[in-house]
Every structure is written in C-alpha cells, then in structure tokens.
C-alpha cells in the first residue's frame, strides 16, 4: 500500500468504525509486507474526494471472479467507506460496474448485521448486480455484562470441573499480559507444540506466516492494540493467546499451549484467567474468539455468551452475459438445495 492509500484507508476507517478486526488497515499492510505483495487498493472518488477503499484481487478462473485480497490468515473483506456507508458503497460498485475484467464479485465474510453488508445488497440490487447473500460461519464471543461470578457459574459443570482439576495439577499459575512483542517468540513455540505443529499449520512452520504475525504484532503494538496473554506455571510458560484490541473488543487470532501439559488443560485454565482479568479491568466490551478452528474449536462455544453470524455477498456484472448466467445458475442451485433440505426436515418430523 502506498502512503497515500494508507492515509485514505486510515481516515475512512476512523470515520466508519467496523466491529471486526479484519477491517483494520494495518492488517493489510502487514499482509503485504509478509507476502512481498505490492498491489494497490481500489479507491472510489466522487467530486475528487475518496469515498471508499477496497482491497480486491482477481481469482484466475473461467468465472473471472474478484475476491477480497489476502488469505485465510488475513483478508480485507470489508470495503471501507467513511461516514456515508451507502454513498461510498454506491460509488465503489458504480466504478466496478463501469470497468471490465470480471463477471462475479465476492465480498466478505462480514458481520451479517453490518451496515456495510446491507448497503452492498441494496446498492448492488439497484445497479442490477443481483446480489446473493450466504452465511459463512459464526464467531463466538464473551460479552462482559453482569458479574464474573454469575458468568462463570453459568458455564457447564464439565468445563468448570476440567478447569479446577487443571489448576490443582498446575499449582502456582500466573497470567501475564504483554502489550509489546518481547515475549512473542515464547508464544510461537507454544503454538507449535501441539496439533498445529504436527499438522504443519503452526506459525513457526511457515516463514511467510511467521513474518505476517510478527509484522502484525509490531504494527498493533505501535498502536497500543497488541495483547499477548501468557500463562505461567512456576517458571514455565504453558499457554498463550495472541490477541489484538480493536474498537473496544479483544480479538483472539491465535492460541496455543504446551502439549506436555495437556492433562492439566492449560488452554482452558488460560481462557478462564484471561476472561476473569478482562472482566475485572472492564477496559473492553467483549472477547471475540473469531470464526474458524474446525474440529478444534468447540472450546469457543463453551466460553461464549454471545455469537455473531458472518456472511458473504456475491454480485454479478450487470452488462456481462457470463455474469448474469452465473447469477441464474447459482440461484437455481440454491433453490434446489433449499427444496431438498425442506424434504429432509419433513421426513425427520414425527
């Protein structure tokens, strides 16, 4: 990103707070540096003034698809529009409609209740882009309302027993909160010691991935937004959460623990201590576990008292025969899937 692009993104993002850390401009900056990617962002202007920014990349296929730039670790899935969300989205989609080289535009995942998503659907429909919205997942959260004692008592008995056994087994445990990157290497080693290391998905398994999370931590720390939580048993670090604070919430991007301590459930003990700490300080509104995690993500639901749905929207170039054909095919496919699902549900009813 050029200095001008960065300044525009920063200003528009400041005017339009989006309650998702993936909308933070420094994340895209870090991703570009890690991947040595020098691509520019799209800027829509009206009357000479920038009104919207989007990081888009062409997906090579016969569908000529445009997607949010990035990857599974960091993707800029929100157009940034400033205060006038509707006007900014309209300008961005008008510029795209006037261009060439694409048939299908995919935006998201975004928080399903986001005004940005609503504006994309409304303005895309008005431009003949035939928007299609689909839920893509959920993010479990802990919202700091009420008292810690009430919240913790509402967790399952099995979870509370697991934590109690772990605390007894571990003995003297201490939670540390780091706002700088001095202990980042400690976290990288913890994160690689479990199944992520075995499957080759740990941060330390990929030099590019390691650079991304290092650059991201540096940028967040420079803004006072980085939070690294480490759990220590005696002199040994046994678990950690890599987090970024954004718009009054803490987002957990990565978590890890020392696999040799697995019988003591150090990850669960860590989550209890982190939540209790944040409940006591009340300097943020919520702790967001973020979407994803697959088979290893059931713990998120155990600690959550709230959930946010995520969705993506597909739009089709109005003057493209291929785009309109794609829109029709996807609508038919979705209608058939819904019909079959209703049939299955009817058979399951007594």
Domain assignment of residue 301, yes or no: no
What pLDDT digit, counting tens, does each position of 101-142 carry? Answer: 899 999 999 999 999 999 999 999 999 999 999 999 999 999
Q: In this structure, is residue 293 part of a structural domain?
A: no
Residue 290, domain member (yes or no): no
Please report, for the domain that includes residue 36, its CATH number.
3.40.630
Tell me how far apart the alpha carbons of residues 219 and 226 are, in angstroms, rounded to a whole number.
8
pLDDT at 18: 93
What's the total number of domains in the chain?
A: 2
The predicted pLDDT at position 294 comes to: 65
Per-residue 3-state assignment (H helix, E strand, C coil) for 88-154: HHHHHHHHHHHCCCCCEEEEEEEECCCHHHHHHHHHHHHCCCCCEEEEEEEEEEEECCCCHHHHHHC
pLDDT of the residue at 193: 84
114 and 47 in a common domain: yes
237 and 174 assigned to the same domain? yes
What is the reported pLDDT for 298? Answer: 87
| Range 329-350 burial, b when 16+ CB lie within 10 A, else e | ebeeeeeeeeeeeeeeeeeeee
> Is 298 within a domain?
no
pLDDT per residue over 147-180, tens digit each? 999 999 999 999 999 999 999 999 999 999 999 9
Residues of the chain scoring pLDDT < 70: 195, 197-198, 200, 293-296, 343-350
Q: What domain range includes position 116?
A: 3-139+309-348
- For position 184, which CATH number holds? 3.40.630.30
- φ/ψ (deg, to 5) at 191: -65, -25
Angle, alpha carbons 258-263-266 (nearest 5°): 45
Note whether 30 and 81 are same-domain residues: yes
Q: What is the rounded (10 degree) CA torsion for 88, 90, 93, 96?
A: -80
Question: What pLDDT does 274 receive?
Answer: 98
Q: Note whether 126 and 167 are same-domain residues.
A: no
Residues 89 and 196 in one domain: no
Specify if 69 maps to a domain.
yes
pLDDT of residue 187: 96
Strands (E), 32-71: 42-46, 49-54, 56-59, 65-68
Same domain, 271 and 150: yes
Question: Same domain for 198 and 130?
Answer: no
| pLDDT number for residue 52 | 97
Residue 317 counted as domain residue: yes
């Amino acid at each position: 990103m050029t200095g001008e692009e960065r300044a525009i993104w920063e200003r528009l993002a400041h005017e339009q707070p989006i309650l998702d850390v993936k909308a933070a401009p420094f994340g895209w900056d870090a991703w570009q540096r890690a991947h040595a990617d020098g691509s520019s962002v799209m800027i829509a202007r009206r009357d000479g003034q920038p009104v919207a920014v989007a990081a888009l990349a062409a997906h090579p296929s016969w569908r000529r698809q445009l997607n949010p730039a990035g990857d599974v670790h960091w993707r800029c899935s929100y157009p940034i529009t400033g205060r006038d969300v509707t006007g900014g989205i309209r300008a961005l989609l008008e510029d795209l409609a006037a261009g060439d080289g694409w048939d299908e535009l995919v935006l998201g995942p975004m928080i399903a209740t986001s005004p940005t998503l609503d504006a994309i659907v409304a303005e895309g429909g008005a431009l003949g882009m035939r928007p299609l919205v689909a839920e893509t997942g959920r993010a479990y959260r802990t919202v700091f309302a009420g008292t810690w004692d009430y919240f913790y008592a509402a967790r399952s008995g099995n979870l509370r027993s697991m934590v109690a056994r772990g605390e007894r087994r571990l003995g003297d445990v201490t939670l540390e909160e780091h706002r700088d990157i001095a202990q980042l290497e400690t976290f990288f080693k913890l994160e690689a010691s479990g199944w992520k290391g075995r499957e080759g998905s740990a941060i330390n398994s990929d030099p590019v991935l390691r650079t991304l999370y290092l650059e991201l931590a540096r940028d967040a720390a420079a803004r006072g937004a980085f939070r690294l939580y480490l759990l220590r048993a005696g002199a040994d670090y046994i678990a950690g959460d890599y987090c970024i604070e954004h718009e009054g919430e803490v987002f957990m991007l990565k978590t890890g623990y020392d696999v040799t301590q697995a019988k003591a459930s150090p990850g669960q003990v860590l989550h209890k201590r982190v939540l209790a700490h944040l409940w006591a300080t009340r300097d943020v509104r919520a702790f967001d576990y973020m979407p994803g995690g697959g088979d290893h993500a059931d713990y998120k639901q155990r600690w959550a008292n709230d959930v946010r749905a995520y969705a993506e929207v597909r739009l089709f170039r109005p003057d493209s025969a291929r785009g309109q054909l794609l829109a029709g095919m996807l609508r038919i496919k979705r209608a058939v899937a819904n019909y079959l699902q209703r049939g299955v549900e009817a058979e399951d009813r007594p």
